[in-house]
Structure 1
Amino acid sequence: MTHTHQYELMVILNPEIDERQVPTILDKFLKVITTDGGTIDNVDVWGKRRLAYEIQKKNEGIYAVVAFTATSTATQELDRQLKLSEQIMRTKVLRAEEAIALIESERVRAEEKAARKAARPAKIKQDA
């Protein structure tokens, strides 16, 4: 009996992709997991976000987070296939317990950045 673990996959896809196509694109890769007897527990497409730094000369990407249960062998194969795809700009697979902290910090970072951007136009006038 091979052990399965819960994983979180964070993927950044090329921003030129139609967001409605993202679940279909991901499904193609996730077949590696289901064929091996694993399960896809949740697919959460966050949509287009500004990147923390440029990747492949792009400063935006479509973020998606996938929660799944699988063997480490299937997970490594999934990661390998994602890295070969031109549609995928960045991928990170983590065991669920590590992922919760990382995904939360990414969400907070994106929200803080949006809040700073929203606050920027209100310049404070100084009395001379």
Structure 2
Amino acid sequence: MRHYELLVVVKPTLTVEELQAKLNYLKEILEKNGAVISATLEMGTRKLAYQIDKFERGTYVVFYFTAPTAAIAEVERLIRITEEFIRFMTVKFENQKELRFWNKQVEKITKKGDAPAVVESKEIVEDTVTTEA
């Protein structure tokens, strides 16, 4: 089994319940295809570098997991056909240096949460102030 990192950008229009439902769906997909999820990092809503599908913001979630190589194609196929995921990127960690980094990231995430391996960050909100002259 190989070590992977999956970054998913979810539409910002989803409610908290809908977001959790989609993340649970993604976890089910991973586990059904033989993956073992080591850590999950919810990074919150952030501004995108460029507009994607008319969205300027997106909710970032990162999964650290181990899975058989054959499972990745099926997981990516199912992510592509789910409308709520506007972008994703899968990174495979191969050599010893990369695996040390993967282990360090998982350890850091699980240490913050202590019991569960899920870290939730606060939503970043930018307010603009307009003044009338």
TM-score by length of 2: 0.65
- Letter aligned with residue 2 of structure 2: H
Greater helix proportion: 1
1:1-128 pair list within 5 angstroms: 4-19=1-16, 21-96=18-93, 97=98
1:38 Cα deviation after fit: 2.1
Q: Which residue of 2 aligns with 1:106?
A: none
Give me the whole-angstrom Cα distance separating, in 1, the residues matched to 2:10 and 2:47. 12
1:72 Cα deviation after fit: 1.5
Give me the whole-angstrom Cα distance separating, in 2, the residues matched to 1:43 and 1:22. 14
Give me the whole-angstrom Cα distance separating, in 1, the residues matched to 2:37 and 2:73. 15
**1:9/1:75 CA distance change after superposition, 3 Å:** same
Percent identity of equivalent pairs: 27
| Comparing 65-74 and 11-20, the one that deviates more | 11-20
Q: 1:5, 1:72 within 8 Å by CA — same for their partners in 2?
A: yes
| Comparing 70-79 and 47-56, the one that deviates more | 70-79
1:84 Cα deviation after fit: 0.7
Give me the whole-angstrom Cα distance separating, in 2, the residues matched to 1:24 and 1:16. 14
How many residue pairs get aligned? The number is 100
User: Could you list the per-position Cα deviations for residues 69-89 of structure 1 after superposition, in whole angstroms to 9, with x for gaps in the alignment?
Assistant: 101111211111011111000
